[in-house]
Amino acid sequence: MNWLDISRLAAAFSIIGIHTTTDPKGKAFIDYDISERVFPVLMRTTAELASTEFFILVSLFLLAFKLERKPMPYGATMKLQMRRLLVPFVFWTFFYAFFVLIKANAFGYLDPMLEKLTKPETWASYFLLGKSQYHMHFIPTIFLIFLFHPVFKLALKAPILGLLVVPFLAFNLSMSTWIWGNISDRNTLEYLIRGIKVLSYIGYGFAAYSILGLWQQKFDKELSKKIFMFGLLAVSIFFIIKLTHAALSIEAGSYVPKMGAIYYAHNLLPIGVILLFLGSQHFNWPEKISDFSKFTFGTYLMHPAVIDIIDIFLKGVEMAPYQLVLFKYTFTLSIVLALSILISKIPLLAWTIGLGPLPFANRTSGKLTTNEVTDKPKVATTN
């Protein structure tokens, strides 16, 4: 399934692209001229072709594939997901809770960060919302979505249910808008917004299972070509809509909220992109892709730490926005890939990036890898 491996690599590379295209304030280089904001914003817009939502869709597809190949009872499935997802999550939550202090010290906001760590609500948000670092929300979110996986199976027999992704997205937009306008307590707001988002992402579960149902039909090259062209058309239309968001962000100097057609284009892009990759299943993808795809979870988990270190080293260095973005992206991607390969060879640490057995598990469960995202199907070719 090289097409699935390349999609996982695209997701990992794109996430890094998204997180390396902001200035130190998290803005779209607001202190620079509009012309200098163009490259970072367009690079981010392109990287969002395979955003966190795409990572979620691919993860759901992998879960569906594995359960179809080797069915498991609901309890056993979720117990396995707890071990694969939540155990590494606890490790990285503690890691980032203290690692961020290094950057805080370098940029002069260490005291507020230390005070923050003394508050119980901080640790609650770290473990329940994944707020120890900006990317950690993915793990508790995907675990909660997995809870609904038996319902998604309906889409295997009725792929049209994949279209439910649209009303679920409408639910998210409507409820989130109301919550932001009516709930003033920040902590309550964050938990409500996350709960609504998890429920809305259920739509991706139906989409993932419907795509698996399509893949199981064992279509030929001619149909694959048509699916590829359909995916390309969908991605092109959604991307053009997203360019209007890029224009607004360039003008504002910040990445403005996605509303209306822009919101739907952004959140439906993952469907178009995975159909694009599915339609490419008969392409002559290099076999090496499968060797590198197993490191995608590691790159996802570690890239914020590398970005922070680079920010510290570049403190006070004058660079044009395009130079800064390219430098950070190139070095971050290279370093996290090297770190993932290195850690995968260390038995006591490999489990932290989903590439080895849990060293403290019993002999039977220790044979299992630690997360669904990186445990790739053992299928050499597609059907």
Concatenated DSSP letters of 298-317 = HHHHHHHHHHHHHHHHTTT-
**Structure confidence at residue 290 as a pLDDT band (50, 70, 90):** confident
Helix, strand, coil shares of the chain, percent, nearest 5, are 75, 0, 25
- ∠ CA 167-41-126, nearest 5°, is 60
Judge contact between 147 and 141, C-beta under 8 A.
Answer: no
Highest-confidence segment of 7-11, 138-142, 215-219: 138-142
- Average pLDDT score over residue span 38-62: 94
Q: Give percent of the chain above pLDDT 90.
A: 76
pLDDT(380) > 60: no
Q: With pLDDT > 70 as the criterion, what percentage of the chain qualifies?
A: 94
Rounded (5°) CA angle 198-92-296:
75
- Per the listing, tokens 């926005």 go with 321
- Given the structure tokens 């607004």, which residue do they identify? 248
* Mean per-residue pLDDT, 122-131: 96
**Residue scoring higher pLDDT (194 or 369):** 194
Eight-class DSSP state of 48: G
Torsion sign, CA atoms 206, 212, 217, 220:
positive
Element (H, E) at 226: helix 221-252
pLDDT at 355: 85
Q: CB within 8 A of 184, min separation 6: which ones?
A: none
Question: 296 near 372, Cβ under 8 Å?
Answer: no
- How many Å from the N-terminal Cα to the C-terminal Cα in the chain? 8
* pLDDT (tens digit per residue) in 234-251: 999 999 999 999 999 999
Highest mean pLDDT among 293-297, 315-319, 339-343, 372-376: 339-343
Residue 268 to residue 18: CA distance in whole angstroms:
17
Query: What DSSP character marks residue 49?
Result: G
Give me the residue spans of the domains in the chain.
Answer: 2-367
Q: Is pLDDT above 70 for 372?
A: no
CA 32, 38, 39, 44 dihedral sign is: positive
pLDDT at res. 285:
81
pLDDT score at 210: 95
Which has the closest alpha carbon to 28: 326, 292, 321? 321
Task: Give the pLDDT score at 361.
Answer: 64
Please report the pLDDT score of residue 84 as a whole number: 87
**pLDDT higher than 60, residue 371:** no
- Please give the residue that has the higher pLDDT: either 1 or 157: 157
pTM score over 0.85 = yes
Residues 6+ apart with CB under 8 A from 365: 83, 357, 358
What integer pLDDT is reported at residue 220 of this predicted model?
82
- 183 Cβ contact partners less than 8 Å away, ≥ 6 residues apart: 189, 192
Does the pLDDT value for residue 171 go beyond 70? Answer: yes
User: What average pLDDT does the structure give for the chain?
Assistant: 90
Eight-state DSSP code of residue 23:
-
The pLDDT value given to residue 64: 94
Q: Tell whether the model's pLDDT for residue 115 goes beyond 60.
A: yes
Separation between Cα atoms, residue 41 and residue 68, nearest integer Å = 40
CA–CA separation, 156 and 207 (whole Å):
10
Whole-number pLDDT of residue 216? 86
Residue 261's pLDDT band, with cuts at 50, 70 and 90, is very high
Render pLDDT for 63-103 as a digit per residue (tens, 0 to 9).
999 999 999 999 999 999 998 899 999 999 999 999 999 99
Confidence (pLDDT) at 221: 85
Q: Between the CA atoms of 79, 84, 89 and 92, what dihedral angle is there, to the nearest 10 degrees?
A: 150
Q: Give 192's DSSP letter.
A: H
Which residues touch 349 (CB under 8 Å, ≥6 apart)? Answer: 343, 356
Cα angle 130, 135, 140; round to 5? 40
Residue 378 phi/psi, 5° resolution?
Answer: -90, 65
pLDDT number for residue 30: 93
160, pLDDT greater than 70:
yes
Q: Return the HEC string of 336-381.
A: HHHHHHHHHCCHHHHHHHCCCCCCCCCCCHHHCCCCCCCCCCCCCC
Amino acid at residue number 383? N
| Burial class of residue 87 (count of CB atoms within 10 Å of its CB; 0-12, 13-18, 19+) | middle
Size of the chain, expressed as the number of residues it contains: 383
Distance CA 267, CA 48 (A): 10
The answer, yes or no, to whether residue 282 has pLDDT greater than 90, is: no
Predicted local confidence at residue 270, as pLDDT: 95
Is a pLDDT exceeding 50 seen at residue 138?
A: yes
pLDDT at 305: 96
